[in-house]
A = this chain, B = another copy of it.
Amino acid sequence: MKGAFLAVDWGTTNRRTYRIGADGTVEKTARDDRGVLAMPPGGYEAEAGQLREAFGDLPMLCAGMVGSNRGWAEAPYVPCPAALGDIAREAVWVEPGRTAILPGVSRPGERSDTMRGEEVQLLGAAASGAVPDGALLCQPGTHCKWARVEDGRLAGFVTAMTGEMFALLKEHSLLSAQLNGAVEAGRAFREGVADSGGDLLARLFGVRAAGLLGQRADADAASYTSGLMIGSDVRARLTESGGAEVFVLADAELGALYRTAIAALGGKASLVDSQAAFAAGATAIWNELA
């Protein structure tokens, strides 16, 4: 099944749609907030129709939370190690020949983990040659994914609640009033990274105390706290992996924060184009679909 198609990275809150030509190039892409949480009951078919009106009347491949038990149709997890072919094989066709939903990937065993949608980007980065075999990849976000791709297969991965925890602190905690400043990869952020050892819960209260005692301007508190969180995340994975090079799939802003933390903790970071990686992964899956 070849030719032009639509690929949709359909997450909980946001969605990005790509029209991909027969030669694999991205002809059009746009992001909106029509994620799974915004869908009315039974509304997916109408929604797919609207996407086709906007992007072209083409077959459609959907990845992400759209395949969870809260989405359009449940596509059960494929266990690690998983290749693009394994994912294609378990696609669920909600409109035969027209619209397929991709499964997520699970990591069973002692340290269980799951992902939905990220696997297309991660495996796409490897398939397109953007990262070398055996690379350690990092996808920052609400739930930051760290993955190893070996021989074209997602060999293993770990998810950290880094972004969600920062949001909880910013919106609901004792620190909320101090965390309204911009987060920037400057001095305060690097101080947070340096303080991000195994003492996170106490370092967070230190943000409050430093404010009360006038030892850090509240304008710097968000950057410092972000440094604590991202530093904890990066430190755990660099320790586990032995400090390898990390390929970061992120937009410029979040990418700069992770690059700074990785460099500060002795690693080497390279940025990878995440949209190109998703398109490459979706195209490879599309070409494998029977």
Question: Which A residues are within 8 Å of any B CB, using their own CB?
Answer: 77, 106-108, 111-114, 143-144, 158-162, 164-165, 168-169, 171-174, 197-202, 204-206, 208-210, 212-213, 215, 229, 232-233, 235-236, 239-240
Partner of A171, one of B112, B172, B229: B172
Q: Chain B nearest CB: distance from A118 CB in Å?
A: 13
Q: Chain B nearest CB: distance from A166 CB in Å?
A: 10
Q: Chain B nearest CB: distance from A37 CB in Å?
A: 12
Partner of A215, one of B112, B169, B173, B197: B112
**A-B interface, 5 closest residue pairs, ranked by CB to CB distance from nearest:** A198-B198, A160-B201, A159-B205, A199-B236, A160-B202
A206 and B172 contact, Cβ closer than 8 Å, known pairs A197-B198, A198-B232, A201-B233: no
Number of copies of this chain that the complex holds: 2
- Contact yes or no, A201 B165, CB < 8 A: yes
| CB nearest to A111 among chain B residues | B206
- Contact yes or no, B198 A114, CB < 8 A: no
- Contact yes or no, A159 B209, CB < 8 A: yes
- Contact yes or no, A205 B236, CB < 8 A: no
- Contact yes or no, A201 B232, CB < 8 A: yes
Q: Chain B nearest CB: distance from A210 CB in Å?
A: 5
In the complex the two chains form, what is the Cα distance from A199 to B202 in whole Å? 15
A232 and B114 contact, Cβ closer than 8 Å, known pairs A172-B168, A173-B168, A205-B160: no
- Contact yes or no, B201 A239, CB < 8 A: no
Q: Chain B nearest CB: distance from A107 CB in Å?
A: 8
Some 20 contacts from A to B, beta carbons below 8 A apart, are A106-B213, A108-B213, A112-B209, A113-B205, A113-B209, A114-B208, A114-B212, A143-B205, A158-B202, A159-B205, A159-B206, A160-B201, A161-B202, A161-B205, A164-B174, A165-B204, A168-B169, A199-B236, A200-B200, A202-B236
| CB nearest to A79 among chain B residues | B213
| CB nearest to A205 among chain B residues | B159
A236 and B160 contact, Cβ closer than 8 Å, known pairs A168-B169, A209-B114: no
In the complex the two chains form, what is the Cα distance from A160 to B209 in whole Å? 11
- Contact yes or no, B213 A112, CB < 8 A: yes
In the complex the two chains form, what is the Cα distance from A106 to B232 in whole Å? 26
